[in-house]
Amino acid sequence: MDFSKDWVTIFFDPPKGNPFYHPLVKKGFKHCISMAQVENGWLYAESFNKGIHLDYYDDAIVKKIFRVFLEWDAIALRFRSTETYQYPLSPLTCATFCAKINGLRGTTITPFRLYCALRKRGASVFLLQDYL
């Protein structure tokens, strides 16, 4: 599967759950997911402690998802992935998973480090409210 596309990576603090490492990560960057717009909807990709969740949502559902992220004060970046990551995907964290989908090499452990890596590579801010 070709993952070369515009990925929107969303950084946020989930309201529920408090894994042991959350006090160690930067506020606003406790979790991240990636989404990519396709013809009639969006691909949704998330890695969390129970596994990997990949799904497809239509625009109406995505607008509801974005509203929830806005309530959580989420930050979103859009990044044009120019290469497909073709190695086995064995994510250590949500940030590692999103980094590989975005075509980044190396190890990215925390969502904030992923945010910095994407900004350094030219990712632009994606305003969730503009999509609603």
Classify residue 1: in a domain, yes or no.
no
Classify residue 13: in a domain, yes or no.
yes
Number of H helices, E strands in the chain: 4, 6
Which DSSP state fits 93?
A: S
85 — pLDDT class (breaks 50, 70, 90): low
Alpha-carbon gap, residue 40 to 117, rounded angstroms:
30
Average pLDDT, the chain: 84
Classify residue 119: in a domain, yes or no.
yes
Query: What is the tens place of the pLDDT at every residue in 16-61?
Result: 766 656 667 788 898 999 999 988 899 999 987 778 889 999 999 9
Domains of the chain: total: 1
- pLDDT greater than 90 at residue 106: no
